[in-house]
């Protein structure tokens, strides 16, 4: 047991290091710009006073390491600074939207994970059948679709008939039931986009195992194919499957950006796009840091979980 | 009902195009390549045919298109009728014309970006594998750090800092994707640099550049070509997504991503016109994926 805790501790430290480097990259990216950030943002016609005011606001007069330190200590206390476009504290802008985005991602995950595992296991069970070939071709097709194409097809098909709303409005009075109903189309879009990949990887992981001697042994004992797959193949395929699931959940985080814009969903992605359009750098940095942290944490979780389910990985170097 | 009919028509077209392309390719190919085309799956021949059509349309765009790219011809949102076979957009420009020019702009920009990402990523990757030592360590750790940030988020961050124009778009996406190419090129090259013929070439006194060009690249070609196809799909999709978000290719230029965004309101009236450019994007990525899938299966000898 102690070994597991030591492994988890190691991975956590590594994750912290990654997060630190990411924060340096996200902050340092602004330094790449040749010349003055204030002039770049305000354009050539800006007067000296407005330039000086903006420099003061962004703290551009301090050297970069000092600014980074101030930014990082602020972020660690939940203070991301002030938005340049609206002059509001960023933590206030981000707060409720982060919850909305997490809700959408979790909703999509709750739909897509069971669906793709089921489809993957079935495709592996009946491999080279019509079902397998059709689902494979469909999956390859779905992977290649841009998210907004899937989203608009769903709108045309399901929102036009009045079954589901094509825009999501969230007010204080919205109950969870309403939210589940009105966020169904965005969640379904994300589901369709990630299910294909997860299904293909689940199938590949299980088929890979079906060639092992212990599976042949089980088969020779006269076990039914269903039982062989469920009791002998799936438990051993858990590690790669967990990895794929986590990777795709991480993918959901970025996929959410486009989908939120299509469905006018009040989440972080939409806020980020607005901020990019206005070149509101502090907001973009804050949201990029949040998305990147979620991405790193999910990868970390996958790493730990797959090691726990497959003790052989414990002794890798 | 409409869904079912379009599904059946689509499947029918798929089979017809697939079979025709396979027969055509087999007849046109020189004798020694013929076996390759004989057992190519239907999906792959369909993909090749689609890619061919896109390339022809992109090259001949000004000849095929009935009107000028930015010409305003009449009322906005005209229905599908001659002379505007696919109607007009929100400024009264011909939809068909813009779709045809979009093939040139969107695909052209995506191709240029992929090529740039590819040259930078693979040269640096092979060089790192060849040189080893601190250069390899430094570059690889840098790439690891950059890859820990999701690609779309990182591109958005860079676009905020450098501003949005076609040139920055190409450079930003190329830089982000070059990190992925670097990873692959380095790991492929690492398997090659330990070979005896590299040792022999080194003892002959060949320089690094010669080693990369004449010894390593030819042997790393198969995985790199497959990666090029996949990378093109990713780049194409991210450029379209950014254009759709209003951060990529700018309006007067006909581009599929921004065409979807500009005309999206039509969808709420049940008009499928805005889906055409989105479908054009989807069809090309599907086609490239089908061909890459086939090539990968051939290269690995996987028949399952």
Q: Kindly report each contact of residues B215-219 with a partner whose C-beta sits within 8 Å and lies 24 or more positions away, as own/partner.
A: B216/B126, B216/B130, B216/B189, B216/B192, B217/B122, B217/B126, B219/B192
Q: For residue A295, how far is the Cα from the chain centroid?
A: 6
Question: Within this chain, do residues A234 and A299 fall inside the same structural domain, yes or no?
Answer: yes
Q: Is residue A81 part of a domain?
A: no
Q: Is residue A180 part of a domain?
A: yes
**pLDDT, tens digit, 9 for 90 and up, residues A142-155:** 778 888 888 888 88
Task: Say which of B148, B244, B270 has its CB closest to residue A258.
Answer: B244
**B150 in contact with A at a CB cutoff of 8 Å?**
yes
Q: How far apart are CA B295 and CA B48, in angstroms?
A: 12
Q: Is residue A191 part of a domain?
A: yes
**pLDDT, tens digit, 9 for 90 and up, residues A98-124:** 888 888 888 888 888 888 888 888 888
3-class DSSP state of B301 = coil
For residues B280 and B102, is the Cβ–Cβ distance under 8 A?
Answer: yes
For residues A103 and A183, is the Cβ–Cβ distance under 8 A?
Answer: yes
Question: Within this chain, do residues A43 and A191 fall inside the same structural domain, yes or no?
Answer: no
- Quick one: DSSP state of residue A29? G
**B296 in contact with A at a CB cutoff of 8 Å?**
no
Which pLDDT does position A75 carry in this prediction? 82
Angle of helix B151-162 versus helix A268-278 axis, rounded to 10: 20
Q: How far apart are CA A117 and CA A200, in angstroms?
A: 9
**A233 in contact with B at a CB cutoff of 8 Å?**
no
- Flag if A284 and B163 touch (Cβ within 8 Å): no
pTM of the prediction?
Answer: 0.85
Question: What residues of A are in contact with residue B285 (Cβ under 8 Å)?
Answer: 144-146
Question: Within this chain, do residues A153 and A232 fall inside the same structural domain, yes or no?
Answer: yes
Question: Within this chain, do residues A100 and A67 fall inside the same structural domain, yes or no?
Answer: no
Q: Containing domain of residue A29, as a range?
A: 17-76
Which pLDDT does position A317 carry in this prediction? 46
For residues B248 and B169, is the Cβ–Cβ distance under 8 A?
Answer: yes
Question: Within this chain, do residues A119 and A256 fall inside the same structural domain, yes or no?
Answer: yes
Which pLDDT does position A158 carry in this prediction? 79
- Flag if B237 and A146 touch (Cβ within 8 Å): yes
**A295 in contact with B at a CB cutoff of 8 Å?**
yes
Question: Within this chain, do residues A64 and A138 fall inside the same structural domain, yes or no?
Answer: no
Q: How far apart are CA A201 and CA A284, in angstroms?
A: 33
Query: How many residues belong to chain B?
Result: 304
Which pLDDT does position B303 carry in this prediction? 41
3-class DSSP state of A45 = coil
- Flag if A273 and B245 touch (Cβ within 8 Å): yes
- Flag if A141 and B286 touch (Cβ within 8 Å): yes
Q: Is residue A101 part of a domain?
A: yes
How far B208 CA sits from the closest chain A CA (Å)?
Answer: 30
Helices (DSSP H) in chain A: which residue ranges?
2-28, 37-42, 48-58, 64-76, 90-125, 130-144, 147-154, 176-182, 184-209, 213-220, 225-227, 234-262, 268-278, 281-309
Question: Within this chain, do residues A72 and A101 fall inside the same structural domain, yes or no?
Answer: no
How far A2 CA sits from the closest chain B CA (Å)?
Answer: 29
3-class DSSP state of B94 = strand
Question: Within this chain, do residues A190 and A268 fall inside the same structural domain, yes or no?
Answer: yes
For residues B123 and B212, is the Cβ–Cβ distance under 8 A?
Answer: yes
Which pLDDT does position A313 carry in this prediction? 67
Q: Which of A189, A152, A181, A146 is nearest to A165 (CA)?
A: A181
**B137 in contact with A at a CB cutoff of 8 Å?**
no
**For chains A and B, what is the number of CB pairs under 8 angstroms?**
137
Q: Which of A39, A33, A20, A30 is nearest to A282 (CA)?
A: A30
**B200 in contact with A at a CB cutoff of 8 Å?**
no
For residues B117 and B181, is the Cβ–Cβ distance under 8 A?
Answer: yes
Question: Within this chain, do residues A105 and A28 fall inside the same structural domain, yes or no?
Answer: no
Cis amide linkage into residue B83, ω under 30° from 0: yes
Is the alpha carbon torsion for B244, B248, B252, B255 positive or negative?
Answer: negative
Question: What residues of B are in contact with residue A146 (Cβ under 8 Å)?
Answer: 237, 240-241, 244, 257, 278, 281-282, 285
Question: What residues of B are in contact with residue A22 (Cβ under 8 Å)?
Answer: 145, 148-149
A contact test, residue of B157, B175, B289 with most A CBs within 10 A: B157
Backbone angles phi, psi at B81, to 5 degrees: -160, 155
Q: Is residue A68 part of a domain?
A: yes
Q: Is residue A5 part of a domain?
A: no
Question: What residues of B are in contact with residue A141 (Cβ under 8 Å)?
Answer: 282, 286
Comparing alpha-carbon positions, the chain B residue that sits nearest to A211 is B304
Q: Is residue A6 part of a domain?
A: no
Comparing alpha-carbon positions, the chain B residue that sits nearest to A292 is B149
For residues B292 and B229, is the Cβ–Cβ distance under 8 A?
Answer: yes
Which pLDDT does position A35 carry in this prediction? 63
What's chain B's average pLDDT? 83
Which pLDDT does position B174 carry in this prediction? 93
Binding-face residues of B in 235-254 toward A, CB within 8 A? 237, 240-241, 244-247
The first and second tokens of residue A62, run together, are 């301090």
Question: What residues of A are in contact with residue B274 (Cβ under 8 Å)?
Answer: 152
Question: Within this chain, do residues A56 and A179 fall inside the same structural domain, yes or no?
Answer: no
User: Residue A309 sits in a domain of what CATH number?
Assistant: 1.10.3720.10
Q: On the CB side of A133, how many CA atoms lie within 13 Å of its CA?
A: 7
Question: Within this chain, do residues A145 and A285 fall inside the same structural domain, yes or no?
Answer: yes
Total structural domains in chain A?
2
CA distances from B292 to A66, A185, A226, B184 (A): 49, 31, 33, 16
The residues of chain A scoring below 50 in pLDDT are 317
Which pLDDT does position B300 carry in this prediction? 63
The region that residue B163 occupies, defined by phi over 0 for left and psi between -120 and 50 for alpha, beta otherwise, is left
ipTM of the complex: 0.82
Binding-face residues of B in 40-79 toward A, CB within 8 A? 43
What's chain A's average pLDDT? 81
3-class DSSP state of A78 = coil
How far A240 CA sits from the closest chain B CA (Å)?
Answer: 20
Question: What residues of A are in contact with residue B43 (Cβ under 8 Å)?
Answer: 137, 140
Which pLDDT does position A56 carry in this prediction? 74
Task: Say which of A21, A157, A285 has its CB closest to residue B145.
Answer: A21
Comparing alpha-carbon positions, the chain B residue that sits nearest to A293 is B149
Q: Which of B248, B267, B266 is nearest to B257 (CA)?
A: B248
Q: What are the residues whose beta carbons fall under 8 Å from the beta carbon of A194, sequence distance 6 or more? A: A108, A112, A116, A248, A249, A251, A252, A255
Which pLDDT does position A316 carry in this prediction? 56
Question: Within this chain, do residues A217 and A137 fall inside the same structural domain, yes or no?
Answer: yes
Q: What is the CA radius of gyration of chain B?
A: 22
Task: Say which of B154, B275, B289 has its CB closest to residue A140.
Answer: B289
Q: Is residue A86 part of a domain?
A: no
The residues of chain B scoring below 50 in pLDDT are 302-304
For residues A192 and A148, is the Cβ–Cβ distance under 8 A?
Answer: no
């Amino acid at each position: 047991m102690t070994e597991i805790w030591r492994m988890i501790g190691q991975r956590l430290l590594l994750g912290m290091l990654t997060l630190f480097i990411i924060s340096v990259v996200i902050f340092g990216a602004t330094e790449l710009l040749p010349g003055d950030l204030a002039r770049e943002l305000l354009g050539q016609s800006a007067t000296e006073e407005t330039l000086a005011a903006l420099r003061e606001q962004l703290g551009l007069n301090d050297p970069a390491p000092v600014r980074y330190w101030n930014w990082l200590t602020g972020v660690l206390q939940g203070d991301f600074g002030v938005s340049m476009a609206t002059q509001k504290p960023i933590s206030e802008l981000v707060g409720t939207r982060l919850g909305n985005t997490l809700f959408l991602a979790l909703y999509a995950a709750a739909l897509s994970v069971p669906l793709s595992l089921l489809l993957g296991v079935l495709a592996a069970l009946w491999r080279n059948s019509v079902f397998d070939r059709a689902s494979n071709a469909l999956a390859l097709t779905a992977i290649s679709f841009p998210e907004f194409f899937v989203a608009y097809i769903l709108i045309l098909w399901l929102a036009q008939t009045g079954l589901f709303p094509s825009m999501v409005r969230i007010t204080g009075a919205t109950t969870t039931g309403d939210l589940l109903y009105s966020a169904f189309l965005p969640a379904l879009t994300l589901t369709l986009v990630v299910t294909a990949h997860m299904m293909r990887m689940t199938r590949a992981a299980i088929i890979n195992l079906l060639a092992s001697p212990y599976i042949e042994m089980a088969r020779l004992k006269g076990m039914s194919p269903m039982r062989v797959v469920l009791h002998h193949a799936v438990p051993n395929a858990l590690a790669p499957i967990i990895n794929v699931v986590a990777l795709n959940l991480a993918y959901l985080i970025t996929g959410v950006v486009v989908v939120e814009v299509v469905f006018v969903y009040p989440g972080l992605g939409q806020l980020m796009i607005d901020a990019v359009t206005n070149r509101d750098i502090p907001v973009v940095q804050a949201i990029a840091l949040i998305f990147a942290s979620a991405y790193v944490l999910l990868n970390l979780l996958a790493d730990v979980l797959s090691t726990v389910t497959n003790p052989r990985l414990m002794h890798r170097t | 009902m409409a869904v079912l009919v379009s599904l059946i028509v689509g499947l029918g077209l798929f089979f017809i195009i697939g079979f025709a392309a396979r027969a055509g390719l087999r007849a046109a190919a020189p004798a020694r390549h013929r076996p390759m085309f004989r057992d190519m799956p239907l999906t792959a021949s369909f993909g090749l045919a689609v890619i061919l059509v896109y390339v022809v349309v992109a090259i001949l765009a000004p000849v095929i298109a009935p009107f000028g790219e930015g010409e305003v011809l009449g009322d906005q949102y005209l229905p599908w009728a001659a002379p505007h076979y696919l109607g007009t957009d929100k400024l009264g420009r011909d939809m068909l014309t813009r779709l045809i020019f979009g093939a040139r702009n969107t695909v052209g920009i995506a191709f240029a970006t992929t090529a740039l990402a590819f040259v930078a990523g693979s040269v640096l990757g092979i060089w790192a594998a060849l040189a080893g030592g601190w250069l390899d360590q430094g570059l690889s750790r840098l790439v690891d750090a950059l890859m820990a940030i999701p690609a779309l988020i990182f591109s958005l961050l860079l676009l905020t800092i450098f501003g949005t124009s076609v040139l920055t778009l190409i450079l930003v996406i190329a830089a982000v994707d070059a990190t992925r190419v670097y990873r692959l090129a380095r790991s492929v090259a690492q398997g090659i640099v330990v070979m005896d013929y590299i040792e022999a070439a080194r003892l002959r006194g060949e320089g690094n550049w010669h080693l990369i060009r004449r010894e390593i690249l030819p042997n790393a070609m198969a995985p790199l070509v497959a990666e090029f196809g996949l990378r093109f799909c990713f780049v194409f999709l991210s450029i379209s997504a950014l254009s759709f978000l209003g951060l990529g290719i700018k309006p007067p230029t006909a581009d599929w991503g921004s065409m979807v965004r500009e005309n999206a309101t039509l969808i709420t009236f049940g008009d499928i016109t805005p889906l055409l450019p989105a479908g054009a994007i989807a069809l090309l990525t599907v086609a490239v994926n089908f061909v890459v899938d086939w090539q990968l299966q051939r290269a690995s000898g996987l028949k399952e």
